[in-house]
Amino acid sequence: MKAKYTLALLLICLASPLAAQKFEGLAATPPMGWNSWNTFQGNISESLIKEMADAIVSSGMQKAGYRFIVIDDGWEAPERDAQGNLVPDPTRFPHGMKAIGDYLHSRGFLFGIHNCAGTKTCAGLPGGRGHEFQDARAYASWGVDYLKYDWCNHGTANAEETYKTMRDALHAAGRPIVFSLCEWGDNKPWTWARDVGHLWRTTGDIMDCYDCQGAYSLGWKFILELQVGLEQYAGPGHWNDPDMLEVGNPGLNEAESRAHFSLWAMLAAPLMAGNDARKMPEQVRDILNNPEVIAIDQDALGKQGSRFMKHPGKQIWSKELSGGDWAVCFFNDSDEAVQLRIDWAHLSFLKGAYRVRDVWQKKDLGRNEGEFRAPLPSHDVVLLRLTPVK
């Protein structure tokens, strides 16, 4: 009888949730940083990553909150070594991944890396399937702080179970690592990934454009549309990820970059820059480093904004903030400039009197009384922060 009791207790312990969990206490606000993919794709190297880190420091981006440097697909050698270990490309990363991690840490950054839940990465390099625990130990030994885990070449694998396996492997390796599920929203990860990762992609890849569509990629306006209704699934430690930023890249004009950044902040989205920080015009730097917009994204309440209204050519998004504040974003999605005329009384989520501040103009506009008017260029936004009058 005692032997049966002991066996039953052992089985209960092995099945305990404590044996399978993600690292808690990470990503209390949406992660901010820079990722190599949008500009460089597989054309990356140790020297490029170091140059980019230095540029992110000198441009003020690091001080503004961009802490993660994520090396995306393309860092690996074509094959694992004889022991099955991942190894970096010896030409492009001659000193290994621990050395690049040590450099990033010495500059005050957190170190991110990419791999894939399939047998091969999207670039055809060794994926993690069947090597999860071995790879997690390697990432921990290199000082990795963030893992972006893609979904190419996954075959018939079950997404939830596959990502749970990598979650468990990271936890077993013992180093707290932010786990980013890049599953493209194929299996609605927002419904199951809260206890698996710290953020999950909601769509296919973003493109360097406003409203274009490719075979597997979308312009940011299309991605924005696909975020409607997902706000209930986001919060501290578990974020919807509408993909990285294209701010400052050639396919967007200044207004589209500003609107893109504003709406990602309203979505409480991870802010992962994807431009060449070494060649950043002043207007792009001013967008990416705007402290008031970043504060909306990073607000401690951790609520994702939602679309309050959509009319032809005009959208209104709202986001509840800590301390009773609200962010309100008016987005002109038409091809013509418009004149905003908003009756404050129609914004029913506002209760009482507020002080109004235009975040991009950096101007206080008085109180929410009567009608609000402002010019709104094509594909641009007016972004306001409202603070209760006490």
Catalytic annotation, pick one of 72, 145, 150, 299: 150
pLDDT digits 0-9 by tens, 67-84: 999 999 999 999 999 999
pLDDT digits 0-9 by tens, 32-72: 999 999 999 999 999 999 999 999 999 999 999 999 999 99
pLDDT digits 0-9 by tens, 278-322: 999 999 999 999 999 999 999 999 999 999 999 999 999 999 999
The whole-angstrom separation of Cα 260 and Cα 329 is 11
205 is catalytic: yes
pLDDT of residue 390: 87
pLDDT digits 0-9 by tens, 322-335: 999 999 999 999 99
Query: What percent of the chain clears pLDDT 90, i.e. is strictly above it?
Result: 94
pLDDT digits 0-9 by tens, 221-279: 999 999 999 999 999 999 999 999 999 999 999 999 999 999 999 999 999 999 999 99
Rounded mean pLDDT, 151-180: 98
3 pLDDT band (50/70/90 cuts)? very low
**Which H, E and C letters describe 294-350, residue by residue?**
HHHHCCCCCCCCEEEEEECCEEEEEEECHHHCEEEEEEECCCCCEEEEEEHHHCCCC
Q: What is the pTM of this model?
A: 0.94
pLDDT of residue 148: 99
150 is catalytic: yes
114 within 8 A of 73, measured Cβ to Cβ? yes
Name the average pLDDT for the chain: 95
80 within 8 A of 87, measured Cβ to Cβ? yes
Domains of the chain in sequence order: 17-297 (3.20.20.70), 306-388 (2.60.40.1180)
| Position 14 pLDDT exceeds 50 | no
Provide the sign of the torsion angle of the four alpha carbons 69, 59, 258, 364, taken in this order. positive
The residue among 334, 23, 40, 15 whose CA lies nearest residue 195 is 23
3-state SS assignment for residue 263: helix
Rounded mean pLDDT, 184-213: 97
- Please, what is the Cα angle at 23 between 119 and 296, to 5 degrees? 100
DSSP H helices in the chain: 2-15, 37-40, 46-58, 61-64, 96-106, 132-142, 159-173, 220-225, 254-266, 282-288, 291-297
pLDDT digits 0-9 by tens, 336-387: 999 999 999 999 999 999 999 999 999 999 999 999 999 999 999 999 999 9
Q: Region of 74 please: left (phi>0), alpha (psi -120 to 50) or beta.
A: left
pLDDT of residue 19: 52
Catalytic annotation, pick one of 102, 195, 205, 276: 205
Q: C-alpha 126: how far from its chain's center?
A: 24
pLDDT digits 0-9 by tens, 106-137: 999 999 999 999 999 999 999 999 999 999 99
pLDDT of residue 20: 66
The CA distances from residue 148 to 73, 145, 183, 350, in Å, are 9, 10, 10, 38
